[in-house]
Structure 1
Amino acid sequence: MPRIAGVAAAFPPRSYPQSEITELLGPIITNNPTKMALVRRLHANSKVDRRHLVMPYDWYKDSDLNFTLANNTFIVAAVDLAEEAVQGALDKAGLVPSDVDFIVFTSVTGISAPSVDALLALRMGFRSDVKRMPMFGLGCVAGAAGIARVNDYLCGHPGEVGLLISVELCSLTVQRGDDSMGNLVASGLFGDGSAAVVMVGAERARGMPVTGPDVIDTRSRLYPGTREVLGFNPSESGFRIVLTAGVADVIDEHFDNDVVGLLTEHRLGVSDIEVWMAHPGGPRVLNSFSSALGLPEGALDVSWKSMAEKGNMSSASILHVLAETLELQRFGQGDLGLLFALGPGVCAEIVLLKWPEAAGQ
């Protein structure tokens, strides 16, 4: 079974309290006093205390900002943040860039060709024969999906090393003059950040200290009839958010069946899972996860903490939750964990984990 060997997150140096971000973004989004009052209420109820912004506070006030400038800013900043996260994850795994055989890079907040992983590989000294697979369009689910796809690769290449990289600079996608409900809600939730996960195949893992769990199994789901629930609509001003209350409805209707189905295949139940890692998509999303699965109080505390301190960082958030979980908790041999996220489609990705002997020691 492939193993998670190192996880690290990286953030822009600027972090602002939610109240300051409200007063920054509100006037950019709307000049309607009624809508501005709604912005303040939505932000105050988001359970987000502060967020990182990739650019200085005043940069966002520039009325001449456009998609070209925002995307060029993304490319430069994404490579820097990815380098910090990747180096941190490699250090935790006791590996170097030349050890990496396969890279998955994901983002939904900027585009680049050559892709960010190619620019990073040249900067950090990855081998010239490293295999790369950039992913775009998976949104918030991509952190969990990336772990699953690297796992798929390592199942067929058990002696190799895989690397997942996520960079999401959500503040660069804020739409000026868009006072739609989706944009108002999103302006109070999303933050900027990066994360990286180093994984090793079963053969490679035998010669390494245990620093993380094995991936036991994964499950992917795409829910019909949910296309308009969540996503981005590209426009001349960039990526316009599509965000509705239907995300929680999808969880309520489908998610428990998919989790139970995966666990049943391994003769497990919800009560057998000791460690829960949910994508912090927002208060209603986390509450729906807990309710749908009947989770005990406190099961998603790390997800709530991540959302409060960093906001929803799209695909990077579930990887930050994973990093925080590995840092904050102690694990015993045989402990089971479940990591999951939802994204545009609507789709879900679920990853079943197990801590092997010597985990956390």
Structure 2
Amino acid sequence: MSVKITSVAKALPSNWRDTSDILPFLDQWLAGQDSRFQRKVKKIFENAAVDRRYSIMGPTEVFSKTSFEEKNALYARESIKLAETALTNALAKTDWVITDIDFLITVSCTGIMIPSLDAYLINSMQMRQDIVRLPVTEMGCVAGISGIIYAKNFLKANPGKRAALLAVESPTATFQLDDYSMANIVSAAIFGDGAACVLLSSHDNDPGPEILAEEMYHFYDATHLMGFDLTNTGLQMVLDKSVTETIAAHFSDIIFPFLEKNKLAIEQISHLIFHPGGRKIVEVVQELFGKLDKNIDDTKEVLRLYGNMSSATVLYVLERFMERQPEKDSYGLMLSFGPGFSAQRVLLRW
């Protein structure tokens, strides 16, 4: 019995801006700051390798003083809409109906909802009343792959079942208007909002690449590298400048033992499905994979078109490969990094 990824689909908010359109709003936000600092901030936005990003808010609202309560209410309302659209789009790529789904996983880290997002979807989309649900929070950018891992293990234990994974994120709702730290500025420059849905199956007749293996890798003494601080004004970004060098130092331990356990070499991996965390992380990983004669062009393109949407972003990269319909018996490696600090991997075979 195998577990397969049957379809992947995305959903985007209606608000969007090119990076060039955001620069005038920076002038307003940075008014009163040192001129050299203002130029530095603009350079960060211009050099972020993000041409466009989507948002649940327009830029005027992003750069206005709003309370944590107001931003979180917007996050909750828009998350339900985005999740419904992503799930509908994913189902449209299959012959499934909504009641075919046995297991529902929702992942998000950019707001707080109780009841969780999955409860709203069960009601609004009339999913089965006996569906098994799992909301996953506080895992950040790795949660898209985490959700695939959890779904795979559920389906492996339950042959003939189907699962839906929803990743919904609104990082713009975490922007801190009175915070001029590099962490807040860099996150504003690289992040965007979006959602994605992955449908997985342990039905023999459902198509899609098979999940051959999955594994998590946890870094010691690295909880300070990435995450959020919960403050009176909302979720405040934590982003340590040593993230990229930490990834580079652990790269070999993350990649090669995992492949060796599955009797594969990096040369046999045709499709690298890497989460675009930001320009610097992408450049470091591109250099490391480049030495192995591999590229992460799709990762760079997703970053350019949408920015980093936290947990959903790697699923946008996966969708590009799914639509391309890779050759039979080719292998793909999914990889993402996130708070903890951790790396998570999934091995696919088409």
Give TM-score scaled by structure 1 length.
0.93
> What does residue 359 of structure 1 align with?
none
1:43-58 equivalences under 5 Å are: 43-58=45-60
Q: Mean alpha-carbon deviation: is it higher for 72-81 or for 246-255?
A: 246-255
Aligned to 2:227: 231
* Cross-structure match for 1:259: 255
Residues 129 and 228 of structure 1: CA distance in aligned 2, closer, same or farther (over 3 Å): same
Equivalent pair of 2:9/2:90 in contact (CA under 8 Å): yes
Amino acid at match of 2:222: T
Determine if contact 1:48/1:310 at 8 Å carries over to the other structure: yes
Equivalences, count: 348
Partner of 1:349: 344
**1:128-167 → structure 2 map (5 Å cutoff):** 128-167=129-168
Say whether residues 1:285 and 2:286 are aligned partners: no
- Give me the whole-angstrom Cα distance separating, in 2, the residues matched to 1:29 and 1:53: 21
Q: Single out whichever of 190-199 and 153-162 deviates more from structure 2.
A: 153-162
Is the Cα–Cα contact under 8 Å of residues 54 and 77 in structure 1 kept in the other structure? yes
Question: Structure 1 residue 298: deviation in Å?
Answer: 6.5
Partner of 1:190: 191
Distance 1:44 1:318 in 2: 23
Change (3 A) 1:29 1:83: farther
Q: Partner of 2:92: helix, strand, or coil?
A: helix
Q: Compute the displacement of 1:294 (Å).
A: 4.3
Paired residues of 2:266 and 2:292 also in contact (CA < 8 A): no
Is 1:12–2:3 an aligned residue pair? no
Pair 1:163–1:54, CA change in 2 (3 A): same
Identity %, equivalent residues: 31
What is the match of residue 327 of structure 2?
Answer: 332
Cα deviation 1:205-240 (Å, max 9, x = unaligned): x223x2x21100001011011111111111010110
Q: How does 1:94-109 map to 2 (within 5 A)?
A: 94-109=95-110
Give the match's secondary structure for 2:189: coil
CA deviation profile, 1:296-346 (whole Å, cap 9, x unmatched): 66721111000000000000100111112212x241211000011000011
Shift of 1:258: 1.8
> Offset at 1:58?
2.2
Cα separation, partners in 2 of 1:262 and 1:106, compared to 1, 3 Å: same
- Shift in alpha-carbon separation, 1:187–1:199, aligned structure 2, 3 A: same
Q: Take 1:133 and 1:30, find their aligned partners in 2: how far apart are those partners?
A: 45
Contact 2:64–2:177 under 8 Å retained in 1: no
Separation in 2, partners of 1:29, 1:145: 38
* Matched AA of 1:333: K
What corresponds to 1:271 in structure 2?
267
Counterparts of 1:174 and 1:68, CA distance in 2:
14
Equivalents in 2 of 1:183, 1:136: separation in Å? 21
> C-alpha deviations, 1:6-58, integer Å up to 9, x for none?
10000012210112223325643674133221110101111110101112232
CA RMSD for the aligned pairs?
1.5
2:176 matched residue in structure 1:
175
Question: For residues 29 and 160 of structure 1, what CA distance do their matches in structure 2 show?
Answer: 53
Distance in 1 (CA, whole Å) between partners of 2:305 and 2:36 is: 28
Runs of 5+ in structure 1 lacking a partner?
A: 356-361
Read off the aligned partner of 1:84 and give its amino acid letter.
T
Matches within 5 A, 1:57-76: 57-63=59-65, 65-76=66-77
SS in 2 for 1:274: strand
C-alpha distance in 1, partners of 2:130/2:31? Answer: 49
* Amino acid of the structure 2 residue aligned with 1:332: E
Pick closer, same or farther for the CA change 1:298–1:256 going to 2, 3 Å.
Answer: closer
Residues 30 and 179, structure 1, Cα contact 8 Å, conserved in 2: no
The DSSP-based 3-state class of the residue aligned with 1:93 is coil
Deviation at 1:276, TM superposition (A): 0.5
Residue 207 (structure 1) aligns with: 205
- 1:89-123, Cα deviation, whole Å (9 max, x unpaired): 11213211111111110111111011111101100
The answer (yes or no) to whether the contact 1:251–1:292 under 8 Å persists in 2 is no
- Match for 1:90: what amino acid? L
Quickly say closer, same or farther: Cα 1:254–1:236, change in 2 above 3 A: same
Q: State whether structure 2 residue 245 is matched by structure 1 residue 249.
A: yes
Report the CA distance shift for 1:31/1:92 in structure 2 as closer, same or farther (over 3 A): farther
- TM-score in terms of structure 2 length: 0.96
Q: Does the CA-based 8 Å contact 2:52-2:304 persist in structure 1?
A: yes
2: distance between equivalents of 1:17 and 1:146? 30
3-state SS in 2 of match to 1:253: helix
Aligned with 2:190: secondary structure? coil
Q: Report the alpha carbon displacement of residue 295 of structure 1 after superposing the two structures with TM.
A: 5.2
